[in-house]
Amino acid sequence: MDTLYVPATTTQSVNPPCLQRYLQMRTHTHSLIAPLTPEDMVVQSMPDASPVKWHLAHTTWFFETFILSQMHDYQVFDPAFGYLFNSYYEALGPRQPRAQRGLLTRPSLEAVLSYRRYVDDHMSVFLSSDLSPEVTGLLELGLAHEEQHQELLCMDVLHLLAQSPLKPAYNPRWPNVEAGRRGRFTRIDGGLVEIGADNDGFAFDNERPRHKVWLEPFEIADRLVTNGEWLEFMADGGYQRADLWLSDGWAMVLAQQWDSPMYWQSEGAHWQVMSLRGLQPLQPDAPVTHISYYEAAAFAVWKGARLPTEAEWEHACLSGALEQAHDVAWQWTNSAYLPYPGFTPGTGAVGEYNGKFMSGQMVLRGGASVTPKGHARPTYRNFFGPDKRWLFSGLRLARDFK
């Protein structure tokens, strides 16, 4: 399809709730690009990050591939897009190498927005018909997927703008994170508890099945570690003392010359932090963000504490023991990202969504300021490699109860 697609002007008379949710989700993604220039949307600032234009197209490709292409008379917008915007699904064939997504100056932003309109228009017709439970499940997955990419888009935009000497704000009115008191430990009894999602409502496959876990008594902080506490760690030689660090973490400190969290910069003792609001003075009473698992683990050792396991985190959260659970920063846990006992990935290409990444990554729990409202839940398992810092990651301390 060469020409720009213009959607039909007729409005649907049927407007079922799932169609409304779909359109709101797509409109929200579109609203996130309002502060950006077309140039902002093409560049890839590092192999882990993707260009905004790629996120816009990939989320669209997801609905086209997993839902619309299952309809017998659907014509794909452009057969070349399968190669360009497939992220990692081996079952769906070869794809643009991840690290080279920023070389895609074509299709133009205009063409990608046109692709979004084309798929939205076909989805609108489709979602106005009767949907099988299978399609409803794929729709839920597609919506949760778009929410994940809304957050990834914010992470990737911040990383890109932080590379600019101008340190431009993405949006000067982007909400600031709340500052507050430091965390206090709460005792949790533990025992035989259940974690994981039950079968009501949407959850990713990696949150199931619900299963039993034994917890020794433990203590967990009700709040996240603050920037002020992180400054104390730095002042006490936190980034210079190999004894605090895991071996792989210490290797990163040396190789990457880590001496503070990502996006911090100082002139003497005056610290500033690059954020979606631009360069801002460091707020000592706000939670620290943009730290790797290795940094979180070293800080915990320095404090005579440890990170909670993901089961401890979930149990404490559902006991009402946690503040700042879902809306400030993802919280590194001590748990490797592994399948729960009895885990079964979905069948077909969607089975590659989560399960195949279960090696070499750590679980984060909670949710961040950039996580779309209502996206995360107490059973939610986010995961990243232990050296990653461009996500909105922080930490909450735990310790054994003695």
The footprint of ligand AVJ (CB under 6 A) covers 145, 148-149, 152, 382-384
Which one, 146 or 207, has the nearer CB to Fe ion? Answer: 146
Which one, 58 or 223, has the nearer CB to ligand AVJ? Answer: 58
Binding at 324: pick from Fe ion, ligand AVJ, none (beta carbon under 5-8 Å per type): none
Which one, 145 or 365, has the nearer CB to ligand AVJ? Answer: 145
- Contact (Cβ atoms closer than 8 angstroms) between residue 226 and residue 287: yes
Run of H or E residues at 191:
strand 191-195
> Cα separation of 393 and 238, whole Å?
18
Q: What is the DSSP letter of 33?
A: T
Binding at 152: pick from Fe ion, ligand AVJ, none (beta carbon under 5-8 Å per type): ligand AVJ
Q: Nearest residue by C-beta to Fe ion?
A: 87
Residues of the chain by 3-state class (helix, strand, coil), percent to 5: 40, 15, 50
296-298-301 Cα angle (round to 5): 110
Residue 324 is encoded by which pair of tokens?
Answer: 């700042």
Whole-number minimum distance, CB 58 to Fe ion, in Å? Answer: 6
Which residue is it, tokens 């920023």? 102
DSSP class per residue in 270-317: EEEEEETTEEEE--TTSBP-S--HHHHHHHHHHTT-BPPPHHHHHHHH
Whole-number minimum distance, CB 107 to Fe ion, in Å? Answer: 18
Residue 394 is encoded by which pair of tokens?
Answer: 């922080």
Which one, 26 or 145, has the nearer CB to ligand AVJ? Answer: 145
- Contact (Cβ atoms closer than 8 angstroms) between residue 104 and residue 53: yes
137 C-beta neighbours (distance < 10 Å), count: 14
Whole-number minimum distance, CB 183 to ligand AVJ, in Å? Answer: 25
Which one, 22 or 61, has the nearer CB to ligand AVJ? Answer: 61
> Cα separation of 374 and 379, whole Å?
13
Which one, 190 or 351, has the nearer CB to ligand AVJ? Answer: 351
Q: Nearest residue by C-beta to ligand AVJ?
A: 148
Binding at 382: pick from ligand AVJ, Fe ion, none (beta carbon under 5-8 Å per type): ligand AVJ
Binding at 60: pick from Fe ion, ligand AVJ, none (beta carbon under 5-8 Å per type): none
Binding at 326: pick from Fe ion, ligand AVJ, none (beta carbon under 5-8 Å per type): none
> Cα separation of 358 and 284, whole Å?
35
How many residues of this chain interact with Fe ion, rule: CB under 5 A? 1
Whole-number minimum distance, CB 152 to ligand AVJ, in Å? Answer: 6
Which one, 59 or 124, has the nearer CB to ligand AVJ? Answer: 59
> Cα separation of 121 and 11, whole Å?
10
- Contact (Cβ atoms closer than 8 angstroms) between residue 288 and residue 396: no
98 C-beta neighbours (distance < 10 Å), count: 14
Pairing of strands 393-394, 330-336: parallel
Whole-number minimum distance, CB 352 to Fe ion, in Å? Answer: 11
Binding at 122: pick from ligand AVJ, Fe ion, none (beta carbon under 5-8 Å per type): none
String of contacts with Fe ion for each residue 57-96, x by CB under 5 A = ------------------------------x---------
Whole-number minimum distance, CB 149 to Fe ion, in Å? Answer: 6
Written as one letter, the residue type at 397 is L
Helix, strand, or coil (residue 185): strand
Whole-number minimum distance, CB 357 to Fe ion, in Å? Answer: 12
Binding at 383: pick from Fe ion, ligand AVJ, none (beta carbon under 5-8 Å per type): ligand AVJ
Whole-number minimum distance, CB 87 to Fe ion, in Å? Answer: 5
Which one, 87 or 309, has the nearer CB to Fe ion? Answer: 87
Note the residues at the interface with Fe ion (CB under 5 A).
87
